[in-house]
């Protein structure tokens, strides 16, 4: 055997022995370095919180994925132990201080505010206005949408809301005496879906006229919501999954399959808007533009009006416009059906205002003058908080002070509407539906803590639309002479939000809000 041959054989043997050991050693050094940095040298190393959360994002992932959206409650425990400012993962702080809320969620001219990229990563909405990191780019993307959602602009939309509310009323009345269980949240999803589709696309989606209230539309958003935290914790996963064959995808990830179906609908809507833009320029005729037509005709640069970006924006509008209203209406309806006293008080108050129904349905401006109806809507929004997951902001230009702590610039800081709405010092017995707490000379701090649509330059665009839908639909369904609904095999656990995914859902085995019409 020659010397060179022996050397090569030995080299191969040593390579087989050394490579696994080297890999383990390098991996160990890497994780040790990361741990040391995060515990002692990170800009937020000084802030209190469990060391395991500071070391790794896997701690949060466990509660998000294995425990199914329970990290909110773990964060609440941290605040009880460590105080109002807590480090909840290697990168982010959670703040539980109602007075700081308006310091974090500020107007655009108060302080440059950026979104933390990781807070919505992996969901496929990176190019929407809501997920835009840059303060300046967010303003540009939000600008063409904002005028559509002002109270004045929505006055004409309230006619459509009233029409859809009347259709739902008639459909429910037809179940009278049939002993048929109706999934009320499916009906509410169809109601809100029809409205947002008509606003965006100007063509009827006919979800309300579907025999099952278009169950698929409700399931779209529930499924996406349930699995959203998987993709938030593992943002690269979605990129691999979407490349799978459709047959495999529908079994492996129904949420992604549903997202792709929703993408087809959204892309079609944007395509129609582009065609309408061309036709309008040729015919020189004027008509009321849809929201999608406003988007494609805006003065944003061409890159901002690409089909892919506007499709993401359209998908977001469909989801936000359907799920949030349906969920809140479910909360309001359950508690009114479960509480005869509250239901009677509401009927007595709205009786005169709704006396001309169906020939005339009042606008929101009339309905919000009714104190008990307003209390019912606000209490439904409070106790049924749809977005309980913390909303995260960063300030790139300055440090901020909170509870004696100096928080470095560019630090992701999150606050949860759940903590604001469930504060027992502000809302005694916060888990109970008590509209009366909003009547008379109530504690003004309740208004401070009432933040269902967030605040500041990145607050929810659809706040006015949601209020109009909630006021009008509640008045139609619970007026004297409305559908005589009663709960069917449904209790509070079927509507109480206990799983806090990208949006909040009740227990996983809930059969939903079911009613029968007498």
Annotated binding site: 460
Do the strands 504-505 and 499-500 form a parallel or antiparallel pair, or are they unpaired? antiparallel
Distance from C-alpha of 294 to C-alpha of 313, rounded to nearest angstrom: 12
Element (H, E) at 495: none
Residues 93 and 86 sit within 8 Å (Cβ to Cβ):
yes
Which is nearest to 366 in space by CA: 153, 146, 155, 157?
155
Residues annotated within a binding site for heme? 460
Distance from C-alpha of 466 to C-alpha of 168, rounded to nearest angstrom: 17
Output the six-digit token pair for 77: 């425990």
Tokens 């933040």 map to which residue? Answer: 451
Residues 175 and 182 sit within 8 Å (Cβ to Cβ):
yes
284-318 burial: b if 16+ Cβ within 10 Å, else e:
eeeeebbbbbebbbbebeeebbeeebbbbbbbbbb
User: Which residues make Cβ contacts (< 8 Å) with residue 44, sequence separation at least 6?
Assistant: 87, 91, 93, 407, 408, 411
Q: How far is CA 190 from the centre of its chain?
A: 17
């Amino acid at each position: 055997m020659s010397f060179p041959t022996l050397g090569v054989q030995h080299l191969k043997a040593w390579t087989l022995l050394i490579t696994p050991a080297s890999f383990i050693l390098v991996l160990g050094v890497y994780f040790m370095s990361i741990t040391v940095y995060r515990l002692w040298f990170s800009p937020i190393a000084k802030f209190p919180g469990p060391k395991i959360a500071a070391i790794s994002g896997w701690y949060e992932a466990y509660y998000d994925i294995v425990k199914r959206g329970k990290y909110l409650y773990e964060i609440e425990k941290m605040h009880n132990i460590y105080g109002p400012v807590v480090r909840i993962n290697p990168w982010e702080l959670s703040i539980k201080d109602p007075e700081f809320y308006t310091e974090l969620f500020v107007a655009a001219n108060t302080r440059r505010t950026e979104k933390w990229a990781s807070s919505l990563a992996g969901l496929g909405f990176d190019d929407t206005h809501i997920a835009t990191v840059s303060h300046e780019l967010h303003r540009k993307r939000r600008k063409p949408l904002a005028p559509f959602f002002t109270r004045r602009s929505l006055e004409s939309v309230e006619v459509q809301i009233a029409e859809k509310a009347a259709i739902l009323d008639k459909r429910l009345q037809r179940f009278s005496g049939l002993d048929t269980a109706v999934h009320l949240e499916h009906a509410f999803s169809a109601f809100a879906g029809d409205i947002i589709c008509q606003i965006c696309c100007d063509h009827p989606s006919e979800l309300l006229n579907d025999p099952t209230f278009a169950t698929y539309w409700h399931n779209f958003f529930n499924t996406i919501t349930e699995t959203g935290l998987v993709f938030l914790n593992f943002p690269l996963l979605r990129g691999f999954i979407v490349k799978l064959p459709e047959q495999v995808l529908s079994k492996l990830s129904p949420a992604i399959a549903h997202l792709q179906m929703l993408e087809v609908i959204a892309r079609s809507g944007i395509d129609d808007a582009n065609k309408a833009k061309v036709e309008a320029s040729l015919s020189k005729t004027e008509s009321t533009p849809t929201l999608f037509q406003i988007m494609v005709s805006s003065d944003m640069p061409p890159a901002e009006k690409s089909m892919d970006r506007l499709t993401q924006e359209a998908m977001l509008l469909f989801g936000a416009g359907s799920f949030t209203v349906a969920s809140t209406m479910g909360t309001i309806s359950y508690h009114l059906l479960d509480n005869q006293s509250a239901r009677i008080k509401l009927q007595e108050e709205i009786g005169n205002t709704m006396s001309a129904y169906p020939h005339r349905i009042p606008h929101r401006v009339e309905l919000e003058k009714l104190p008990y109806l307003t209390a019912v809507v606000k209490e439904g929004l409070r106790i049924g908080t749809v977005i309980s997951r913390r909303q995260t902001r960063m300030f790139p230009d300055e440090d901020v002070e909170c509870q004696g702590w100096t928080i470095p610039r560019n630090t992701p800081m999150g606050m949860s509407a759940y903590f604001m709405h469930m504060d027992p010092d502000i809302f005694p017995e916060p888990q109970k539906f008590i509209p009366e707490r909003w009547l008379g000379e109530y504690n003004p701090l309740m208004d401070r803590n009432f933040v269902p649509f967030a605040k500041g330059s990145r607050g929810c665009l659809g706040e006015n639309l949601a209020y109009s839908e909630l006021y009008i639909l509640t008045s139609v369904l619970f007026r004297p002479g409305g559908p005589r609904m009663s709960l069917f095999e449904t209790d509070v656990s079927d509507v109480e939000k206990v799983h806090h995914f990208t949006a909040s859902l009740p227990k996983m085995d809930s059969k939903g809000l079911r009613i029968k019409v007498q």
